[in-house]
Chain A
Amino acid sequence: MHRNVESGFSRITALTLAAALLALDAGPVAADVIVARNTPHLSFTASISPDVARPGGRLALVVNVMPKKRMHVYAPGTTYRAITVTLDRHPSLKTSPLTYPKPSIYFFKPLKERVLVFSDPFKLTMNIQVGTVPPKAAPLKINGTLSYQACDDRVCYLPESVPLQWTIPVKR
């Protein structure tokens, strides 16, 4: 468990560094495949790989989320708003359901209930099937949203929806 957390951190650090290097690159940017954000409740990177899309091929979306100190977000299976990533409909893409790691159980004392949450770094993944892409098509622009509701040991914060966008070149 401890090792998983460490590897989660190193992966996130690497992805964040890669995102920063991409942003600093003075040459033409072929792809914009990593989104890194920091909110008052968590930080995350959302990357799509590989960095080119091939008609008939697959892409993988990986979102590494790090809740901040004392924060938790909800997992599916509770009556609360679970963290989720949705991609806008795209004519060339077909998405699979988002996959979640095993959540932990949080005892919510005021209501004496056990709820499923993520409070340590965790990873969400989604497979994306690339369908037909028109000839001479521009790079794929993929838009999406990361939505969640975070709470700490005293309050719940307002639900957040963070817009995401990736640009993936098409290679035939």
Chain B
Amino acid sequence: MNLRAICGLILAAALAIPSSAAAEKLKPFKLKTVDGVEKTLADVLGKATLVVFFFPTCPYCNAAFPKVQKLYDTYREQGLSMVWINVVPDERKLIPEWRAKHGYTVPVLLGGRSTPNEYKVRMTPTHYLLDARGEILSKQDGFNPGDEVRLEQQIQKALAP
């Protein structure tokens, strides 16, 4: 075996080893909707997916969600999937009325007590934008007016052919 062949083998082996800089994937979940239907992360993945951790009486969530719902309405046809995951179990009962009151159509899943720790959620809303394989493209904690512009740009980029 000549030197070139050996170098080729080493290069091929190096490429086969997953890079430590590879994008992190969102931890898979299996959670129920308010209607009791079980959904996994794989079930909700689209071309791009926005996963938002929230609870209904969170002030900044209520400030963000009309704009986030608008992003869902605008980009759904282009492959944007979205799911909101409640992280305060004792507010589950508020969700149906809260959704109806605000006219939200984004699917909601019910997280458990361990959900915040599992997804590094220290504050709400926490947004994860994922690609089609569930890899995390961006994470945004909290919400201030104008953040929806940045989020929209990230969504456009994720949906671009």
Contact = CB atoms under 8 A, between A and B. Distances in A.
A111 interface: yes
- Chain B CB count within 10 A is highest, among A154, A155, A159, for A155
Given A110-B143, A110-B145, A158-B88, A151 B122 contact: no
A111 B59 contact: yes
Interface residues of A, number: 16
B88 A155 contact: no
Nearest to A161: B90
Interface string A129-172: 00000000000000000000101001111110000000000000
Contacts, number: 52
A109 B116 CA distance: 26
Interface stretch (B9-17, B60-68, B149-157): B60-68
Contact of A155 (B62, B116, B123): B123
A151 B141 CA distance: 13
A54 interface: no
Contacts of A149: 57-58
B81 interface: no
A158 B60 contact: no
Interface in B85-136: 87-88, 116, 121-124
Nearest to B61: A156
A111 B61 CA distance: 10
A158 B124 CA distance: 7
B63 A110 contact: yes
Contacts of A108: 59, 63
A169 B123 CA distance: 40
Interface in A104-143: 108-111, 115
A21 B143 CA distance: 43
Given A80-B57, A80-B59, A158 B87 contact: yes
Given A79-B57, A155-B141, A156-B58, A111 B121 contact: no
Range for the number of chain B residues in contact with chain A? 20 to 34
Nearest to B58: A156
B143 A157 contact: no
Nearest to B141: A155
B2 interface: no
A149 B63 CA distance: 17
Given A110-B143, A110-B145, A158 B123 contact: yes
A58 interface: no
A110 B144 contact: yes
A25 B92 CA distance: 46
A47 to B, nearest CB: 28
Contacts of B143: 110, 154-155
* Across the A-B interface, the 9 shortest Cβ-Cβ residue pairs: A155-B142, A110-B63, A155-B123, A154-B142, A156-B58, A156-B60, A157-B123, A111-B63, A80-B57
8 contacts: A110-B63, A110-B144, A154-B144, A155-B60, A156-B61, A157-B124, A158-B122, A159-B55
